[in-house]
Amino acid sequence: MSASSPSQPRKLFIKTYGCQMNVYDSERMAEALGSEGYVTTDRPDDADMILLNTCHIREKAAEKVYSELGRLRVLKDANPDLKIGIAGCVAQAEGEEIMRRAPVVDLVVGPQSYHRLPAMDRAVRGGAKALDTDFPADDKFDTLKARPKARRAPAAFLTVQEGCDKFCAFCVVPYTRGAEVSRPAAKVLTEARDLVAAGVAELTLLGQNVNAYHGHPGGLAGLVRDLAAIDGLQRIRYTTSHPNDMDAALISAHGDCDKLMPYLHLPVQSGSDRILKAMNRKHTADHYLRLVERIKASRPDLMLSSDFIVGFPGETEADFEATLDLIREVAFGQAYSFKYSTRPGTPAAEKPQLPEEVMADRLARLQALLTQQQRAVQQSMVGRTVGVLFEKPGRIAGQMIGKSDYLHAVYADAPADVIGQVRPVRITTSGPNSLGGVLAG
């Protein structure tokens, strides 16, 4: 393996962990380093730079990064010119410790500073180490070059809001992503139009608390309505929301904006008011249930998704049963559930932890209920006709795969030219993780 010559493009491999915002950030990192002559590769052993874009939400996130670095050391031993960087939330939280503990790392960059990657790359190519975990005053989105005009996949992410002011007791996001900041609507709309011109038919608006967006006078609802006016944009989604930021305008948009899809991810975390208070969620279970009623009154066919944490410090069996009761009442079409795990520096980390076997038992029971609900919702789709945005060929010849209005994976026999189109599909079968159907028109 040899380093790229000046006449050859350098190759960049990015491994992305965690949420959709990290997927978006990885795309923008690649674009930023494109100005330094990098092209992306899907082979780490072929790369001149490897970036690990990390997430700090899940358990032992930092240790997983160090484990990955141990594997990458072999590649660096074989190619001393290889540069290795750590980006994202683990970088933000533990930047100096990473530099101290892992000499194989050349650069560490936080999620608010990656627009400075070109300068950092030049520094490490000159033999220096580079660390930037600031919350800079300059707007990274202003600094980043406009997206290239190359053809894009039919669905894309678009970050509109970053950071969090909620300070949930279990969460590190306010410390790694900073305070809530919203991008100006004009800049979001410009980026959206460019994406649509490049072939994007569906946009998912991203934010740590996306419905706290305030870059438009009408809030997120105003932005959604302006996006809906873009010719060629067929679908709009947004994630992740906080119950306390679901205002009347946004609820109304779910009822009268046809391009806003009938799927909403609205994390509740627990059905116990006592635990919600300990989590510093600032809402009650009843508030959440009444909110769901209002949203479904506006959009009766809405499918709900949520997040749940089991085994939060102090959770009793009665608290857990309250969560199961809430799940039964709402009937979620999809959900994400996790055992509580400590995050250093968060208030909950200082509290006595529940035994592992208790948390494992509760998670299994909760997931069994959620799986039952998910399969019931999917089965209810059989016989219905839904819109499907086709995105790629399936593994079987002549089969195409896409996402329904409700974000279900759907496969159907179809010609290749349906990719990028929303077509009606009559659902005929329901599997564990997908639906099957036939083109209906």
> Each residue of 239-258: pLDDT tens digit?
999 999 999 999 999 999 99
As annotated, the binding site includes 19, 55, 89, 164, 168, 171
Partner residues linked to 10 by β-bridges: 38
pLDDT band with cut points at 50, 70 and 90 for residue 294: very high
Predicted pLDDT of residue 217 = 97
- 212 vs 164: CA distance, rounded Å: 9
DSSP state of 204: E
**pLDDT higher than threshold 80 for residue 141:** no
Both structure tokens of 260: 């806003």
Cα 207 from Cα 241, distance rounded (Å): 8
- Given pLDDT bands bounded at 50, 70 and 90, which one contains residue 390? very high
Indicate if the pLDDT at residue 146 is higher than 70.
Answer: no
Which of helix, strand or coil describes residue 134? coil
Cα separation, 315 vs 275, whole angstroms: 7
pLDDT above 80: residue 32:
yes
Q: What is the pTM (predicted TM-score) of this model? A: 0.81
Does the pLDDT at position 236 exceed 70?
yes
Query: HSE of 283 in the Cβ direction (CA atoms, 13 Å)?
Result: 19
Q: Which residues, at least 6 apart from 269, have a Cβ–Cβ distance to it below 8 Å? A: 168, 275, 276, 279, 281, 307, 308, 309
pLDDT at 282: 95
Please state which CATH number belongs to domain 385-439: 2.40.50
Output the pLDDT for position 94. 81
Q: In the numeric block, which tokens belong to residue 338?
A: 């996790």
Question: For residue 184, what are its two tokens?
Answer: 């100006």
Binding site residue list for [4Fe-4S] cluster: 19, 55, 89, 164, 168, 171
The predicted-structure confidence for 326-365, as pLDDT tens digits, reads as follows 999 999 999 999 999 888 788 998 899 999 999 999 999 9
Query: What is the average pLDDT value for the chain, to the nearest integer?
Result: 91
Average pLDDT over residues 381-404: 96
- Residue 368 pairs with which residues in a beta bridge? none
Q: Which pLDDT belongs to residue 2? A: 42
Listed range (135-149, 224-238, 387-401) with the worst mean pLDDT:
135-149
The tens digit of pLDDT for each residue in 65-110 reads: 888 898 899 999 999 999 999 998 888 878 888 898 899 999 999 8
DSSP letter assigned to residue 212: G
- When pLDDT is cut at 50, 70 and 90, the band that residue 5 belongs to is very low
Please say if the pLDDT value at position 1 is more than 50: no
Among 112-126, 198-212, 269-283, which is the least confidently predicted range?
Answer: 112-126
Confidence of residue 150 (pLDDT cuts 50, 70, 90): low
Average pLDDT for 414-434: 95
Residue 402 one-letter amino acid: G
What's residue 345's pLDDT? 80
Closest-CA residue to 382 (of 434, 305, 306): 434
For CATH 2.40.50, the residue range(s) in the chain are 385-439
User: Residues near 221 by Cβ (< 8 Å), separated by ≥ 6?
Assistant: 247, 249, 250, 252, 253
Mean pLDDT in residue range 257-265:
97
Q: Is the pLDDT of residue 293 over 80?
A: yes
Inter-residue contact 265 to 246 (CB < 8 Å): no
Residue 280 has pLDDT above 60, yes or no: yes
Q: Return contacts of 177-180, CB within 8 angstroms, 24+ apart.
A: 177/89, 177/92, 177/111, 177/112, 177/208, 178/112, 178/135, 180/208, 180/209, 180/212
Report d(CA 109, CA 51) in Å as an integer: 10
Task: Provide φ and ψ at 358, rounded to 5°.
Answer: -70, -45
Q: Which fold has domain 10-132?
A: Rossmann fold (3.40.50)
The per-residue DSSP string of 280-299 comes to: T----HHHHHHHHHHHHHH-
Six-digit token string for 347: 């208030």
**333 token code pair:** 């079409």
Query: According to the model, what pLDDT value does residue 341 have?
Result: 87
| Backbone angles phi and psi of 87, in degrees to 5 | -125, 175
Q: Which of 125, 173, 429 has its CA nearest to residue 437?
A: 429
**Domain limits, CATH 3.40.50.12160, in the chain:** 10-132
Overall average pLDDT of the 374-393 stretch: 96
